[in-house]
Amino acid sequence: MTPLCTWPLSLLIHCLPLFLTQSITQSPSSLTIPPGGRVYLNCQVLGAGDPFMYWYRQDLGGGALSFVSYSVSAGSVQEMTLSHFNADRGSSIDFSLTSDGAFVNDSGTYYCAWSRTGKQAGGTSQQELRIVTRNKGSG
């Protein structure tokens, strides 16, 4: 793999911003909804151009990450493993997951990641989605 920058001081000064200006955020940071409720999770990557973007989830109790979806560029979504969710890559920096009818077993921690290639993640962020069962009449 050819590095983006070589190490002479003059090049280091010009290349350093490439490594310092990338950020990844998810919103909202947590979400609690009743079964059947609407879910909207958004991931935003700044300073990375038009990166590959990924969604994963982990059960609330922990365990392995499960792949949810990925996108290679704006306007494209390659795979979606949760049939009642939709993924949208409306721009080069945003990748969202939505559902109009979430199930209790959708509860978990959702991770967004990005990379410049399809092979390695450049950063991750996480948010918790908790779907709670409520008895009728409880507020």
Spans of all domains in the chain = 21-131
What is the spatial distance between Cα 89 and Cα 42, in angstroms, rounded to a whole number?
A: 10
pLDDT tens, residue by residue, 99-126:
999 999 999 889 998 888 766 555 666 6
Record the pTM.
0.74
Model pLDDT, residue 66 = 92
Q: Which CATH superfamily is domain 21-131 in?
A: Immunoglobulins (2.60.40.10)
Please state the φ and ψ torsions of residue 10, each to the nearest 5 degrees: -65, -40
CB atoms within 10 A of CB 12: 11
> Cα torsion for 95, 126, 132, 85, to the nearest 10°?
20
**Alpha helices (H) along 4-92:** 9-20
Residue 29: pLDDT band with limits 50, 70, 90: confident
The mean pLDDT value for 3-17 works out to: 45
Model pLDDT, residue 21 = 80
Residue 9: pLDDT band with limits 50, 70, 90: very low
pLDDT tens, residue by residue, 55-103:
999 988 888 989 999 999 999 998 889 999 999 999 999 999 999 999 9
Model pLDDT, residue 44 = 94
71 neighbors 113 (Cβ within 8 angstroms): no
